[in-house]
């Protein structure tokens, strides 16, 4: 029996396995990985498209989620080049972990708003209505910026909310309202605008007291700092701001 | 068995890679977890609540799966009817469906505006955002494991025992109770353990359909996910806890069920 081919064959399987794993992570060309808060999904998708058109050869890869989840991933070394958070406190996590290159700059602001299904089955017309017993209120988890903002809104209004669920990010809250499963959800003005006819807005009185700031920064682990900085500069430019304001964001 | 003879390298090397691949993360969890914080974490009210909720919901989901899943497996294995292959494929679909997709499907089936939403509301049942919703979500993703395992056992079983009972005058139900079921116990046990383990670890369908609220719907996997955001150490301890609980139950069940029949 010839043992050499058999040993060679034995090595093939693990080698192929590792090669496939390695191949999955590499990519040619200039790529900028951008982690952005869930509430920035439609706007950053559009901004990335415009940036790529103006800068051929650079590819923007977007990753949306709860800012606290994204911050945790970045501090644990995720290969992210740009981070756009929905609150200064989640950005502070990244700064404290020395993962930020330079100081974060606030590029837009946002305001909380209540969203209800178009038929408004629970007849929610004010913040107080949303805190009624028996209402299926869905909020973000307190660790996410939209959850922290929601807690502040209710605290300032001296109301105690009784949520039936605390979602990891604002998109999950919005989808529960769109599906008609939740009677009301606390999201941002921009989310309600982006959802169009899928939800109805219920403005919150004195919401201007709970305006949240969105900072953006290039990370220290950025593989391509030049392109990453160029993208951040584009987001903060007049063209970028015009697109963001069109979506309902407030200027910085 | 190749005990005593040289194990072929073609099999040994990939087997060692597979074992290492599966064991290294578990080893990492055991070695790197902050063991000293386990005591303080256990005392936190939310952790014990989440653990109790996880164990209760997984057990109820498994019990329900056994109740209706074993009969389904028997029908799929022993009854010939048109469309059997299609039905088999469809009921095992949750096995390959991404759990979050399962959660969305549950909304569209049992949610307020779902297919059965109106009927459920009429009898006063609302599943989303409730503990019952957690059980439903877990049963949805875990029952196919049980069905597949039991159906496999049935197909591998010698049907002549059932035929012998029939020729001796036993009714089908009597045969099922006294001949088929006892022979099926190892298969049901194996399927049940798989089902329970899958239900315990379910995340996507639970958080989508039942939501997340401490005490009602926040099971351990959800708690770990949220803890990872701001308190990674707490998440490590919770993960370690889940690992210990899972290993304990798996070992206990193995000893009890398989020792009698092997």
Q: Are the C-beta atoms of residues A101 and A225 closer than 8 Å to each other?
A: yes
CA end-to-end span of chain B = 17
Taking residues B57-83, what's their average pLDDT?
A: 94
Strands A82-84 and A30-37: parallel
Interface with B, mutate which of A121, A139, A146, A166 (most B CBs under 10 A) = A166
As a whole number, mean pLDDT of residues A203-207 equals 83
Of B107, B213, B230, the CB nearest to A163: B213
In DSSP terms, A62 is beta-bridged to: A34
- CB-CB neighbors (< 8 A) of A162 in chain B: none
Residues B101-122, mean pLDDT to the nearest whole number: 90
**Percent of chain A topping pLDDT 70:** 89
Cα–Cα dist A81/A48, whole Å = 14
> pLDDT value at position B260?
46
Q: Is the pTM of this model over 0.90?
A: no
Instruction: Express each pLDDT in A26-47 by its tens digit.
Output: 445 789 999 999 999 999 999 9
Are A209 and A40 within 8 A, CB to CB?
no
Residue A61, CA distances (Å) to A30, A34, A54, A80, A226 in order: 10, 6, 16, 10, 16
**Phi and psi angles of residue B3, each rounded to the nearest 5 degrees, phi first:** -65, 135
**Each residue's pLDDT tens digit, B181-234:** 888 888 898 899 889 999 999 999 999 999 999 989 999 999 998 888 777 788
Dihedral angle sign, alpha carbons of residues B165, B170, B175, B177: negative
What is the predicted ipTM? Answer: 0.75
The residues facing A89 across adjacent strands are: none
> Does the beta-carbon distance from B14 to A168 stay under 8 Å?
no
Measured CA to CA, the distance from residue A70 to residue A60 in angstroms comes to 17
Does the distance separating the beta carbons of A165 and B211 come in below 8 Å?
yes
Average pLDDT of span B238-251: 84
- First and final C-alpha spacing in chain A: 76
d(CA B216, CA B206): 12
Please name the residues in contact with A106: beta carbons below 8 A apart, sequence gap of 6 or more. A88, A213, A214, A215, A216, A252
pLDDT of residue A16: 61
Residue to test with chain A: of B215, B229, B231, B233, most A Cβ within 10 A: B229
Q: Which residue of B has its CA nearest to A11?
A: B13
> What rounded mean pLDDT belongs to chain A?
88
Q: A81-108: string of b/e by CB count within 10 Å (b at 16+)? A: bbbbbbbebbbebbbeeebbbeebeebb
Question: Mean pLDDT: which of A178-182, B25-29, B64-68, B241-245 is highest?
Answer: B64-68
Q: Please determine, for residue A4, whether its predicted confidence score (pLDDT) is greater than 70.
A: no
A154 touches A98 (CB < 8 A): no
pLDDT of residue A12: 61
Mean pLDDT (chain B) is: 87
pLDDT-based confidence at residue B66 (cuts at 50, 70, 90): very high
Predicted confidence (pLDDT) at residue A198 exceeds the cutoff of 50: yes
Which residues from chain B sit within 8 angstroms of residue A164, using beta carbons?
Answer: 129, 211, 213, 216
Cβ of A179 and B107 within 8 Å? yes
């Amino acid at each position: 029996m010839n043992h050499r081919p058999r040993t060679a064959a034995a090595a093939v399987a693990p080698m192929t396995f590792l090669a496939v794993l390695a191949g999955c992570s590499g990519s040619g060309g200039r790529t900028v990985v951008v982690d952005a808060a869930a509430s920035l999904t439609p706007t950053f998708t559009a901004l990335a498209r415009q940036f790529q058109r103006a800068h051929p050869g650079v590819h923007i890869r977007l990753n949306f989620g709860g800012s606290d989840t994204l911050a945790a991933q970045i501090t644990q070394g995720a290969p992210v080049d740009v981070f756009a958070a929905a609150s200064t406190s989640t950005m502070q996590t990244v700064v404290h972990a020395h993962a930020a290159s330079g100081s974060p700059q606030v590029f837009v602001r946002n305001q909380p708003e209540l969203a209800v299904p178009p038929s408004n089955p629970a007849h929610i017309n004010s913040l107080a209505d949303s805190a009624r017993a028996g209402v299926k209120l869905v909020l973000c988890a307190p660790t996410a910026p939209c959850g922290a903002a929601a807690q502040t809104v209710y605290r300032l209004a001296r109301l105690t909310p009784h949520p039936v669920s605390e979602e990891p990010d604002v998109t999950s809250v919005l989808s529960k309202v769109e599906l008609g499963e939740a009677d009301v959800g606390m999201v941002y003005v921009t989310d309600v605008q982006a959802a169009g006819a899928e939800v109805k807005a219920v403005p919150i009185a004195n919401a201007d007291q709970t305006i949240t700031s969105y900072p953006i920064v290039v990370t220290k682990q950025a593989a391509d700092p030049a392109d990453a900085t160029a993208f951040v500069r584009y987001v903060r430019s007049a063209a970028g701001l015009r697109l963001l304001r069109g979506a309902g964001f407030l200027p910085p | 068995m190749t005990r005593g003879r040289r194990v072929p390298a073609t099999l040994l090397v990939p087997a060692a890679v597979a074992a290492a691949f599966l064991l290294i993360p578990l080893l990492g969890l055991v070695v790197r977890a902050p063991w000293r914080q386990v005591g303080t974490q256990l005392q936190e009210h939310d952790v014990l609540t989440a653990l109790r909720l996880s164990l209760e919901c997984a057990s109820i989901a498994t019990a329900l799966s056994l109740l209706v899943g074993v009969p389904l497996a028997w029908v799929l294995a022993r009854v010939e009817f048109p469309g059997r292959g299609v039905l088999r494929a469809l009921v095992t679909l949750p096995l390959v469906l991404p759990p979050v997709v399962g959660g969305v499907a549950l909304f569209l089936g049992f949610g307020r505006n779902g297919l059965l939403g109106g009927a459920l509301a009429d009898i006063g049942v609302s599943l989303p955002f409730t503990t019952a919703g957690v059980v439903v979500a877990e049963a949805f993703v875990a029952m196919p494991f049980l069905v597949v395992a039991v159906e496999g056992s049935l197909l591998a079983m010698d049907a002549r025992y059932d035929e012998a009972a029939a020729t001796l005058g036993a009714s089908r139900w009597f045969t099922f109770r006294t001949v088929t079921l006892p022979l099926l116990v190892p298969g049901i046990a194996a399927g049940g353990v798989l089902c329970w383990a899958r239900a315990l670890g379910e995340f996507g369908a639970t958080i989508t359909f039942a939501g997340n609220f401490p005490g009602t719907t926040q099971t351990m996997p959800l708690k770990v996910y949220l803890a990872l955001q701001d308190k990674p150490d707490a998440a490590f301890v919770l993960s370690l806890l889940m690992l210990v609980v899972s290993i304990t139950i798996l070992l206990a069940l193995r000893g009890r069920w398989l020792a009698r029949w092997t």
